[in-house]
Amino acid sequence: MSKIRVWFEELRPPFLILSIVFTILGIVVALKDGFFNPIHAALTLVGVAALHAAANVLNDYFDYRSGIDVETERTPFSGGSGILPSAKMTPKAVLLEGVLLLLAGLGIGFYFIYVSGFNPILIFLVAFAGAGIVLYSPIISHIGFGEILVGLCFGSPLLLGVYFVQTSALSLEAGLIGLITGILTAAVLYVNEFPDFKADVKFGRYHAVARLGKARAASILKYIFASAYIVLIISSAARIIPFVALIALLTAAHARLAYKILAAKYDDNKQIIPAMANTVKTAILTGVLLIIAYVVVWVASLFGF
């Protein structure tokens, strides 16, 4: 296998779909409000994808160094890329890849800070993203705040940052859309923690599932999903989010299936794979349907509706 292919595999490309979809969502929210800078949009997509990839790669590095990746039972959705345990790359090479991706993403962030006249909002958001990526695996995931951090990184701060780059302003609407995407992304991590339970506890990673226990944690998933849909419904009823955005409620079928499978099979790592898949589908498809909703609103505005 060529070095380039291995480096690419280490990025875990399929998982980058989540951040790309949510970034596009932030862009179309701004588009609906009459703002669109194609160069800034393209740079934002590259920057966010680079930061997400950096998080994936550095997580692999730290988990391998701690011993977690050696003990974890890998699934298609959890347990890392498997690159280091299979010795396809050295830890030094993985660390280098992660650092380069982090510098690329932060470099684009610093560009936006510069062109904004060193706006404190952007400075905070870029610093938050960088600190979160570096500290997640070695510190934050071990003290039980991993789900909250991931929810924030894929939630309101992300959507507000994308919106700000386009408009030079903040938006309650973008923040609420981000709250929805953040909750659903936290749900993805939450479900993915079930197969890692034994290895994580052994090496001191006390995330929500480890603290609650599998049975109790499985029963809570439905409330996590429900909270995202409640935000969507209330925001739409309050006319903060367009009514057509309620189309995203169609993903509730995937959320319900994910919960039912997890509640019944939470102690079987192979049997819960469909629950993990449906949780990812819920998050991604919600983002896609929200993008469609905002594009519809934007097109309608062009025709005076």
**Token match 């650092």: residue?**
99
What is the reported pLDDT for 137?
84
Phi-psi region of 188 (alpha: psi -120 to 50; beta: other; left: phi over 0): alpha
Cα distance between residue 276 and residue 258, in whole Å: 7
Check if the beta carbon of residue 69 is closer than 8 Å to that of residue 269.
no
DSSP 15: G
Is 196 a residue whose pLDDT tops 60? yes
pLDDT (mean) for 235-260: 98
Is 4 a residue whose pLDDT tops 80? yes
How many structural domains is the chain composed of?
A: 1
Check if the beta carbon of residue 171 is closer than 8 Å to that of residue 197.
no
SS3 218: helix
pLDDT (mean) for 12-23: 94
Number of H helices, E strands in the chain: 14, 0
Tokens of 53: 């990839």
Q: Which among 127, 133, 96, 132 has a CA at the least distance from the CA of 110?
A: 127
- The pLDDT mean for the chain works out to 94
CATH code assigned at 224: 1.10.600
Is 1 a residue whose pLDDT tops 70? no
pLDDT tens digit sequence for 76-103: 888 888 899 888 999 999 999 999 999 9
Q: Is pLDDT larger for residue 142 or for residue 218?
A: 218
Q: Among 18-27, 132-141, 158-167, whose mean pLDDT is lowest? A: 132-141
Is 191 a residue whose pLDDT tops 60? yes
* Residue 93 domain boundaries: 3-302
Is the pTM of the predicted complex or chain greater than 0.85?
Answer: yes
